[in-house]
Chain A
Amino acid sequence: MRRPRSRGWLNSVIGLVLCAGLLFPLYWMINVSLTKASDLVRQPPLLFPVNPTFSGYQLAIDKNLGALATSLTIAVATVFVTLAVALPAAYGMSKLRAPGSGGLMFILLLAQMIPSVVLVTALFALYKQLGLLNTMFGLVLADSTASVPFAIILLQAFMRTIPDELLEAARIDGAGRVRTFTAIVVPLSRNAVVTASLFAFLFAWGDFLNAQTLTSGNKITPITLALFRFIGAESTNWNAVMASAVLASIPATVLLVFAQKYVAAGVTAGAVKD
């Protein structure tokens, strides 16, 4: 299996081919986004944007810039909600061994398994009663249901690695539980906090079902929903549809490039998305 690097570069070539094959749909998205509408109805399709056009991006930005801003707001707000719930919970479960930690862990593990269609059906009925349909607040809370269990499981695993002696020392110096939490545990968990935030952001950015179900009209339209509606509305301008898809991919790509360390940490923690 693992053998000395005798055939190293040959494997690199195979790796490149595999990688290119798997990423082909993403290449195709970019290719189509740059292809003229008149060239899109060619058979066979053009493999490269021979006469590239940015008119798709023009239309995509004109129509969907607001949706990108909405998505950004929702995703950032979801990060804050997630951390507000998950940080104290993780501390209580890992370091304070608060009563009920075990049961809570069980619920959180199972919560990750609940089909989103189950949650959204009930949330629709609940939001209807509470008047939370079509509100940013309601949508952010719904989006956080994907990231809260993940964040707690990740954070509490990390906090377990903080030596108890450190917290004991703080206590002897007169720091209460809250102060120990804010001044020691949270700063020390910085890396895990960044990873949890990053995935909370990506989950919320990628949400489609909650937005589709819990909002209506044009009041709150995140980019995923805008893209979905765009498919129907712009059946002839697929370059604009694909340009919107490219725009919707920017955050994930940026994070992957600039925060690769944190992404890797989340991925190995068994980061999962549905």
Chain B
Amino acid sequence: MAQRMVGATGPATVERDEDYRLAARRRAARHTKWASFGFLVPVAVYAMVFFVYPIVRTGQLSLQDYTFMSYFTGQADFVGLANYGTIFGHLLFPKVVVNTVAFTVVSLFFQFALGLALAVFFSKKFPLSALFRSLILVPWLLPVIVSATTWRWMFYKDYGIINSLLGTHIGWLSDPSWSLWAVIIANIWLGIPFNLVLLYGGLQAIPEGLYEAAALDGAGPWRQFGSISWPLLKPVTMVTLLLGLVYTIKAFDIIWVITRGGPVDSSQTLATWSYKLSFEGGTGQSLSLGGTVATLLFLVALALGLLYIRTQRKEMLS
């Protein structure tokens, strides 16, 4: 602001007096600039300590040999990329990658599809629509631990409601071929409100006149969705999917509480595996191996995050 004022003043012929004032203003502007930076100092320090440093430190851990002793001494030797070799060659690595991809893709697909269907449904005007819509958000605001604990009990083999409703006797939590499905189902449920909110917002932004015109031209609801809602929703769809992708790939609580990544690592993803390697391995645990997996996970999240910011920026420009 102050800068703009400086630029706006100063006709070609300035008197001495005016000259002084201009210089003073320029000084003030410079002062303003640095004084306003003062307001950013706390957050700059904060961001360095809590966002930049942790990434550097995790990367650094991945290049060291942080053994069980290191938890006590704090000392760890530099070992180059040896940890990456260990992780890539790890028996579990392919399985964990496949699990992570399956968990992410299947969760995302159903969260999005169900969220979209609900958003379309709630876009209709009917009595109590707003009330139902806000009630559906409740699970989103609860601690994930609460929802996860509830699902864990619902999944119990013998007394769980899910087997009872399905008339099955599946060991959701104890059978390695089902455990990943258990956490995926719970995670889909967890993500529906988020998708509903974003997509509902996107649908609201589409001018109603378009639908009216289409209806006059004889387009039915499916046609209206295919020719109006879906194409006009595309930017919101992109954002929803990208954000959903980032949040799903780093999901930890829901898996940890329901299965702890087990049984026998059958529902382990990169996030839970990293945690297990760092903190749950007893004398074999290593912040370096955990940090290596964490760094890989971070790189994936970073790529997606950059893609998201790029999409957003394009969105803002257009």
Contact = CB atoms under 8 A, between A and B. Distances in A.
A complexed with B:
yes
Interface of A: 1-3, 5, 7-9, 11-12, 14-16, 18-19, 22-23, 25-26, 28-29, 32, 40-45, 84-86, 88-89, 91-93, 96-101, 104, 106-119, 121-126, 128-129, 141-142, 144-145, 148, 152, 164, 168, 177, 181, 202, 205-209, 213, 223-224, 227-228, 231, 238, 241-242, 245, 248-249, 252-253, 255-256, 260, 263-264, 267-268, 270, 272-274
B120 A1 contact: yes
B143 A104 contact: no
Given A112-B305, A122-B61, 6 more contacts: A15-B121, A44-B164, A85-B46, A121-B54, A241-B149, A245-B145
A118 B295 contact: yes
Given A85-B46, A86-B43, A272-B194, A41 B297 contact: no
A44 B59 CA distance: 51
Contacts of B140: 273
A106 B290 CA distance: 27
B81 interface: no
B309 interface: yes
Contacts of B138: 23, 26, 252-253, 256
19 contacts: A1-B120, A25-B139, A26-B138, A28-B150, A28-B153, A28-B154, A104-B44, A108-B47, A109-B305, A111-B47, A111-B51, A115-B297, A126-B57, A209-B253, A231-B152, A242-B149, A248-B145, A268-B201, A272-B243
A248 B149 CA distance: 11
Nearest to B58: A122
Contacts of A25: 139, 147, 150-151, 154, 189
A257 to B, nearest CB: 10
Nearest to B215: A3
Contacts of B208: 2
Nearest to B152: A231
A99 B29 CA distance: 12
Interface in B137-163: 137-147, 149-154, 158-161
Contact of A248 (B47, B146, B192): B146
Given A15-B122, A106-B309, A113 B304 contact: yes
